[in-house]
Chains A and B, each alone.
Chain A
Amino acid sequence: MKQEIKGGPLTRLIMNDVAGRRMMMIILAIAIIVPFCNLVFPEGSALHVSTYTMTLLGKYLCYALLAVSVDLIWGYCGILSLGHGAFFALGGYAMGMYLMRQIGDRGVYANPDLPDFMVFLNWTELPWYWFGFDQFWFAMVMVLAVPGILAFVFGALAFRSRVTGVYLSIITQALTYALMLAFFRNDMGFGGNNGLTDFKDILGFDLQADSTRAALFFASGIALILGYLISRFIVTSKLGRVLVAIRDSESRARFLGYRVEWYKLFVFVVSAMLAGVAGALYVPQVGIINPGEFAPINSIEMIIWVAVGGRGTLFGAVIGAILVNYAKTYFTGAFAELWLFMLGGLFVLTTLYLPKGVVGLWAQIKDKFFSSGGGGQSGNPATDNAEGKV
């Protein structure tokens, strides 16, 4: 596929996308400067960035990648998945399993093969699905494969039966709910309630060390940029046009002869894999993965990042994720009581007054104050919604 559109894609990707280009430059700059400031400047220096801040920012970057993956299917294909947290968590669990095996005999029970929680449950040998996770490459393959395969199976079933819209949203929610219940069970072999934690090192590097943290942060930044470029590549390709067509009128696209379900399936699987990568980068930075990540409310929160940032603009999703999560960190610290009021209000106000998110805010203001008459005809094909009665 890359061969066919050689020459074109780079221009298409980078040159035509001014906002995205600027944002990617900023992300790249952050990905380099923050670890640099953390490692080079001593603590107490004005230019020093604490490891805590860096880890926090690294978390935001993972969330941003996740938001890009959600926007890819929701903004461009109209698939509102309320279970995207499941793919994120599965990627995280794959990484967690690798990190768990890396602990080796340094666990509390000093068992070289079995993680502590299995020894605690009196298991005598590793379950079959844990094999291979002592290898980094295998774990990385699984980070992509497990969410990808689940998305493929689930999507193939759902899209071919033409489960769409609200129904799809509800069964994706059922999916992540079922997975949450399953992972809460000790018998599943994923640490039950406590999940996987107490990680020691990754690829031989101490996870507590600042340099490892910095490397992970850099990796998250790069992953975000790559994820963004992949998504951008998809949505600006011919395939992306079909996706938008499907979003705007699925049956019309079908009648025009497009195999709608395959297009949807493709983008759903890609999105799930991106979410998996985000999860895999998230886990070593926060140091734990537990079934709570599957909670349906998490998946809904992801949707709101995208909605706040601006549905149907990939860089808007990045902005939304970072903005909302920064607000969350700030408000839960400063006014814990108010945070849910804020978040809830944000949901309501965004859907009512900001159908295109903060990214569309400028266009909205321009429309209102600088253009005479017309009004509401912004003509952006990527966010073609009925204007609400604002």
Chain B
Amino acid sequence: MLFAFVLYTVVAGAEASPTKPNTALHAIAQELIDAGYREKQALTERLTTIDDPKTLEFMQVMVEGDLYYRKDDRVVVIKGDNAVTTFFSGEEITLESKRDIKKISVNNKLRVLLRGGIARLQIFSDDPEMRMQAAVNLLKSAEDLDQATLDEALSNEEKPDVRDVLSLVKGIRLLEADTEKERLEGVSYLSGSLYPDVRGALANYRRAAEADSRTEEIQAADEALKKIESLLSLNSVAENLYFGLALGAVLLLAAIGLAITFGVMGVINMAHGEMIMLGAYTTYVVQQLMPDHIGMSLAVAVPAAFLVSGFVGVLIERGVIRHLYGRPLETLLATFGISLVLQQAVRSVFSPLNREVATPDWMAGTFMINPALELTFNRLYIIIFSLLVLALLALILKRTLFGLQMRAVTMNRPMASSMGIRTGWVDALTFGLGSGIAGIAGVALSQLTNVGPNMGQAYIIDSFMVVVFGGVGNLWGTLVGAMSLGVVNKLLEPWAGAVVAKILVLIFIILFIQKRPRGLFALKGRAADMG
């Protein structure tokens, strides 16, 4: 009946004042300033019937106790944490003294009324998202809405997902019902829902049932809770799997470049981590250069980082590594020296402290699968990005002239040379390519971890593990190696803890190498003898 009344006034209000929407609300606001609590109750009930886009906000501000008015001119204002703004015009005002404004106070009775009003307004809103929000809020406080309105909303609702949540609200209300049959019906509504509030309500209900030793209901509640638990554990497995894939993607990004320098060329590049670091610092510099376009900065940083790290890579190859081919252990020492120099260079130029790299807005946010499972976008982007980089690299290796020459030099250097390939330049460019990709990895990693002079160190060991585990000289091996290590690591984490999980993975790799000294996907035949 109340609903009918609301609906009526909503329609009537809409017809009555299309041009001056604020007047009714404004009038009530003015009356509220002088009213006592009892009058405020009547006014609040009138408030819920006003069709005005601002009514909802008005009630929300009021129920929070942030609604004030200025004593001088009776302008209604909102007192926020930092500033005071006028309610109707939204202008910020400065106060000379705190006493200039006075609170429009509310008591508990009014709050209940207001919350009910808010819930009603939201639940019949035209915006499905707002209805959803209202329904989810109702899970916390199902008593805000009376039974009749709830049923009305339930039967009017067109969106199935909103209806599902509303039926959960109904279920929670039914748990408090007088008859056992109704209460059990409520439990049946709630079984298998993933909302934490539902779980809380069921747990409370079970306690109440236990107190009165209502065995049948205890059993029903237990079953419903068990179903929820099993769904939740399934969810957490899915979540860990996702985290694992994201970690795998990070490992993959860090290791792809190494798969080229180490895997294809056989150069143990201990400065690989510093190539990643250079990429991350390039991101930082790009963002410093274009502070107003953070959203675009990553798109600029990716090629920039590729060029910077790739250029440094070519320099290293021409300056040092080419003198050391065939002496892998000495390459290791020389490149380690280079890594120290690069670290110190960055420390001298940018200071030893971590640099702040901003995350563009489009990277933030989450992606909700169900109430208990939210996946963050940045991880999703990293996964996609790493696969893109891998695909691009595979394309370069298999489909371009440079890739062909690169493979030819790897397979048989003298033969390639006698066919007119400038092996020296191919070496330099290959090393540059590997380093450049490490730089791209640095752009991605700057979004996930701290950017500092030592960041490369954190990835070098992991990268080598991935490449060795996957099988040297094999991009698929790198992909499978990275993803499986990432997933295994994250799946172990819940019961072993992060550090122990990592130790277990390292031990696993050590043992695995004993069994298959050439990794998951070993090269066969003559190529296997190199390295």
Contacts and interface: CB of A to CB of B under 8 A. Distances in A.
Interface in A160-177: 160-167, 169-171, 173-175, 177
Interface in A66-91: 80
Contacts of A341: 340-341, 344-345
A239 interface: no
B348 interface: yes
B337 A346 contact: yes
B341 A386 contact: no
A114 interface: no
B509 interface: yes
A340 B506 CA distance: 29
B514 A351 contact: no
A124 interface: no
Contact of A297 (B333, B457, B514): B457
Contacts of A19: none
Given A297-B457, A337-B348, A341-B344, A352 B513 contact: no
A344 interface: yes
A340 B340 contact: yes
B499 A174 contact: no
Interface stretch (A28-36, A39-47, A181-189, A219-227): A181-189
Given A166-B531, A184-B499, A337-B344, A173 B464 contact: yes
Interface residues of B, number: 45
Contacts, number: 130
B333 A165 contact: no
A163 B338 contact: no
B330 A351 contact: yes
Interface string B373-410: 00000000000000000000000000000000000000
B123 to A, nearest CB: 52
A351 B330 CA distance: 6
Interface in A357-390: 385-386, 388-389
Interface string B400-436: 0000000000000000000000000000000000000
A344 B320 contact: no
A343 interface: yes
Most buried by A among B329, B334, B503: B329
Interface string B439-468: 000000000000000000100010011001
A161 B500 CA distance: 26
Contacts of A388: 323-324, 327
Contacts of A355: 330
B268 interface: yes
Given A157-B514, A184-B499, A165 B344 contact: no
Interface in B325-369: 326-334, 336-345, 347-348
A230 interface: no
A347 B514 contact: no
Interface string B494-509: 0000011011001101
B177 interface: no
Contact of A165 (B328, B461, B507): B328
Contacts of B339: 344
B511 interface: yes
A53 to B, nearest CB: 27
Contacts of A164: 517
A304 interface: yes
Secondary structure class of chain B's binding surface, majority of residues: helix
Given A171-B509, A177-B506, A352 B334 contact: yes
B131 to A, nearest CB: 50
A166 B514 contact: no
Given A181-B499, A344-B344, A347-B340, A171 B332 contact: no
Nearest to A165: B328
B185 to A, nearest CB: 49
Contacts of B464: 170, 173
B327 A386 contact: yes
B515 interface: yes
Contacts of B531: 165-166
A173 B344 CA distance: 23
B517 A167 contact: yes
A158 interface: yes
Interface string A143-163: 000000000001001101111
A351 B461 contact: no
Given A344-B337, A351-B330, A352-B320, A158 B514 contact: yes
A26 interface: no
A166 B268 CA distance: 8
Given A163-B513, A167-B513, A340 B341 contact: yes
B95 interface: no
B14 interface: no
A207 interface: no
A354 B341 CA distance: 19
Contact of A348 (B326, B338, B517): B338
Contacts of A253: none
Contacts of B338: 344, 347-348
Given A171-B509, A174-B461, A352-B320, A344 B514 contact: no
Most buried by B among A170, A175, A386: A170
Nearest to B342: A344
A122 B339 CA distance: 43
A307 interface: yes
Nearest to B461: A177
A300 interface: yes
A166 B340 contact: no
A86 to B, nearest CB: 12
B422 to A, nearest CB: 17
Interface of A: 80, 154, 157-158, 160-167, 169-171, 173-175, 177-178, 181-182, 184-185, 296-297, 300, 303-304, 307, 337, 339-341, 343-348, 350-352, 355, 385-386, 388-389
30 contacts: A154-B510, A157-B510, A158-B514, A160-B514, A161-B513, A163-B513, A163-B514, A163-B517, A165-B328, A171-B513, A174-B506, A175-B506, A177-B461, A178-B507, A181-B502, A297-B457, A340-B341, A340-B344, A341-B341, A341-B344, A344-B337, A344-B338, A344-B344, A346-B337, A347-B333, A347-B334, A348-B334, A348-B338, A351-B337, A386-B327
Given A182-B503, A340-B343, 18 more contacts: A80-B329, A157-B511, A165-B329, A166-B332, A173-B461, A178-B503, A178-B506, A304-B336, A304-B337, A340-B347, A344-B336, A347-B333, A347-B338, A347-B340, A348-B320, A348-B334, A348-B337, A352-B324
